[in-house]
Chains A and B, each alone.
Chain A
């Protein structure tokens, strides 16, 4: 019988290698069909009318004119008269028409009247926002920071922050819906294929079994696509009313206004160390907004746990739009605040931050050994000791270089996943589960695990995912997919193989316990003369395929990773322009299934991180309450010319592989803001207190430094 435990390094033929993603050819040739690309016979286009006000009560909705517009087949209300909207961009009503332009015209013809109410869209402090808009979410205290500060050799105080940013998925949120009788099909751009039927069913008053969710590929989610959303239900109602399929994907401005935002954070920090660099006390007061709700509750300080520490966080409710989980919720904000303050403290001691972080490494707890190895590896790849200079030490000329570093952590344990593995009598193999591939490479991981388990080449396995008719398997959030699907697939394939081995045992000496599947054959362990090629072995099944199930298996996975990043930047002191010259990551994620797509996750996280460190901000207009940059000209993403040299080192081998599989999507996106901010401070001798680090903020920081001098 085959053992389901992960194979030892010397026995792995696919796991841990660099393997091209299975859907790569479909994607790069433009043949992959996203929800946005689904065109059904007779399909209509849906468009919505949105509230232009950030805070208002709807007093009248009149759709009469819109219903008579050319091409219009259905109109549905999303909001009600008398209900208050809490952000500009709130959906009020939707129409379906023959063409997109007709639908847009008709949505505009819906007359909505409002009683406009006062709004708050600025990133206010709790004092500015006032009691009505402030809610203290947490207060923690360990030890006693105040006496510790009094005895410390070095103490710094600083204010740091990061504004609200958006998800900006390239495939906007939305879906195509179609009814056949009381059966609803939804081609949804979602991170939660197996969960959506449970949301549509009560809303549409049909059993969940009547809802078919299909998402073979999807164009980015980053935490913002877990639910059906109001546009999903509106689309289904438009379909129902018109008797036609309806496509309704959000327009870009709508996407940026409401379909995802990461809460802001600002913090006043006081932190102190002994003369030898030992961290002794931390005190912070932080606040931030997640829109009208109170999501976003950081635990400070991050990663390091000094003996004496206290922190308090207040959520500010505003009308900027709703927050959604953004890749590694809370962590990039916590890393920015903590690592900025710690590097400022190291500069005050004064000490090389690499030595400072190593000095305090035991304060990180159980991951201390991992962090230490990663710090040393990253320092080697960055050539840190040669390049580092004390903060503010300048060279001649306008261009100054600097280094920064940061540590991060994440859970990444596996979600609940069910997988079926079917071995057909003709030798073909299918693995099926409901989870989706957001572009992380989940589909390929599933194929690799099944093929490795069955001793087959990757192309011998057909991977069926992204459909709720396959076994229920978790949503893709919190880096939980790889652990869930790799372990359920391993168990399912192993169970199917054991059934096959039992069937073929009579032809190979009778003892299934002595059989193994390796290199495309079923053979007797230790006796290379006794084997059956895979196809002949499967032919023993006669006419009935084997289907075996597997579930998430806790003994194949783990959680809790550590990562270290370093950045080298150059700053033009005359223009304030920051360039990322080089970034290095040393990242742990347990057993790597596919090294190629694992590295891509880290490269991608670097680039997303460069973007939020230097460019991203959801800019709100205080007067009108609207988002001023709900487009891609002014909501800026980094381009190919902005990335510098990126170096990724995955921590693998003994001590890492044996922890089992752990998720990787979130961890590497946590530190980039902190490392770039720290590198800029090192380069120019002064902290730019908030992200994004724009040229004007750099120049303002230099000016304030000049004023102090």
Chain B
């Protein structure tokens, strides 16, 4: 799997190591249905309809076979920053809304709400993803890391410190997304070139215009992390 996936928006050149939300290998739902299993389930349902029509299956058995979660609230467990969180919510809840609304973990921001701007970037199994376009039920069984898990209260991760030193933030609303994208990017590219940094952050947008600081901060953070100051 490439570390520089297109985000499909046509807006930027690529994205720093975004995990594939719909990757069947990553989808291990404990409850409910993933997109893949939904499609498989739909196949089952179609054949079940055929079987029903032909009198080969009872209606109850067909419904049980489809295993569709919801539409009412269901219990889910999300592993965030090493800690298990239980919530009860409708299966249509996005990971971003689960974090922000159900768990009061608000570092990831809601801006475009459709996988374009990167303000909601969190890590899933170490890869950057857009939390606004992943269902919470599909995030179950994965290791999620939000910006709250990057540094302890009162301390700064080297990336965060570099963002401060290079003034890579103004209003700061896009900043947590950039910091998490930088974490994923630097894990994949510990010694990035300026060119790689320029290309690697096409999946995050800023309105105040902090890119000059972001570019310097990422390059500086790479050095700080290599220097064992992480």
* Residues of A in contact with B (beta carbons under 8 Å apart): 20-21, 23-25, 27-34, 36-37, 39, 45, 99-101, 168-172, 217-220, 222, 251-252, 438-441, 596-597, 599-600, 603-608, 611, 631-633, 636-641, 643, 646
Contacts and interface: CB of A to CB of B under 8 A. Distances in A.
Contacts of B148: 30-31
B97 interface: yes
A24 B167 contact: yes
A21 B169 CA distance: 9
B17 interface: no
Interface in B188-230: 197-199, 201-202, 204-215
Interface residues of B, number: 67
Nearest to A170: B173
Given A28-B169, A101-B92, A632-B117, A37 B106 contact: yes
A161 to B, nearest CB: 23
B211 A169 contact: no
Contact of B175 (A28, A604, A606): A28
Nearest to A610: B209
Contacts of A39: 100-101, 104, 106
Contacts of B9: 632-633
B215 A640 contact: yes
Nearest to B197: A640
B112 A252 contact: yes
A28 B164 contact: yes
A252 B113 contact: yes
Given A24-B169, A29-B156, A632-B114, A641 B209 contact: no
A132 B214 CA distance: 49
Nearest to A18: B167
Given A39-B106, A639-B13, A34 B173 contact: yes
B113 A251 contact: yes
Interface string B104-142: 101111111110110100000000000000000000000
Contacts of B100: 37, 39
B207 A641 contact: no
Given A604-B170, A607-B209, A639 B11 contact: yes
B93 interface: yes
B106 A646 contact: no
Given A24-B164, A170-B207, A600-B167, A30 B89 contact: no
Given A30-B146, A637-B207, A252 B90 contact: no
Contacts of B90: 99, 101
Contact of B171 (A439, A599, A607, A631): A439
B198 A600 contact: no
B37 to A, nearest CB: 22
Contacts, number: 196
B11 A20 contact: no
Interface in B161-188: 161, 163-165, 167-176, 179
A219 B172 contact: yes
B212 A36 contact: no
Nearest to B116: A632
Given A30-B176, A439-B170, A631-B116, A36 B207 contact: no
Nearest to A30: B107
Contacts of B97: 100-101
B109 A170 contact: yes
Contacts of B199: 641
A459 to B, nearest CB: 14
B6 to A, nearest CB: 13
A27 B150 contact: no
Interface string B2-37: 000000011111000000000000000000000000
A605 B167 contact: no
B147 interface: yes
A301 B109 CA distance: 43
A28 B168 contact: yes
Contacts of A641: 12-13, 198-199, 201-202
Nearest to A221: B171
Nearest to B199: A641
Contact of B209 (A25, A29, A30, A608): A608
Contacts of B174: 170
Given A36-B110, A596-B167, A639-B205, A28 B12 contact: no
A29 B147 contact: yes
Interface of B: 9-13, 89-90, 92-93, 97, 100-101, 104, 106-114, 116-117, 119, 146-148, 150-151, 153, 156-157, 159-161, 163-165, 167-176, 179, 197-199, 201-202, 204-215
Given A100-B101, A439-B170, A20 B164 contact: yes
Contacts of A441: 170
B146 to A, nearest CB: 7
Nearest to A70: B72
17 contacts: A21-B164, A27-B175, A29-B179, A99-B101, A101-B93, A251-B113, A252-B111, A438-B170, A439-B169, A600-B213, A603-B213, A631-B112, A632-B205, A633-B10, A637-B205, A640-B201, A640-B211
A220 B111 CA distance: 12
B120 to A, nearest CB: 11
Given A99-B89, A603-B209, A29 B151 contact: yes
Given A607-B211, A639-B12, A219 B171 contact: yes
A659 to B, nearest CB: 25
Nearest to B159: A28
A643 B12 CA distance: 13
A599 B153 CA distance: 30
Contacts of A252: 111-114
B179 A30 contact: yes
B173 A220 contact: yes
Nearest to B150: A29
Nearest to B107: A30
B167 A597 contact: yes
A100 B92 CA distance: 11
A214 B176 CA distance: 22
Contacts of B173: 34, 170-171, 219-220
A604 B209 contact: yes
A632 B204 CA distance: 11
Nearest to A253: B113
* Interface hub of A21, A600, A631 (most chain B Cβ within 10 A): A600
Contacts of A603: 209-213
A45 B97 CA distance: 12
A252 B120 CA distance: 14
Nearest to B211: A640
A178 to B, nearest CB: 16
A37 B211 CA distance: 24
B166 to A, nearest CB: 9
* Interface hub of B116, B151, B197, B199 (most chain A Cβ within 10 A): B116
A438 B207 CA distance: 12
A170 B119 contact: yes
A391 B101 CA distance: 57
B109 A36 contact: yes
Contacts of B11: 632-633, 636-637, 639
Contacts of A168: 207
Nearest to A33: B106
A439 B109 CA distance: 16
A172 B110 CA distance: 9
What are the nearest 6 A-B pairs in CB distance? A30-B107, A607-B209, A439-B171, A27-B172, A219-B173, A604-B209
Contacts of B119: 170
A643 B211 contact: yes
A690 to B, nearest CB: 22
A607 B170 CA distance: 13
Contact of A21 (B110, B159, B167, B198): B167
A71 B208 CA distance: 37
A99 B72 CA distance: 12
Nearest to B171: A439
* Interface hub of A23, A25, A168 (most chain B Cβ within 10 A): A25
Nearest to A172: B111
A445 B120 CA distance: 30
A646 B171 CA distance: 20
Nearest to B10: A633
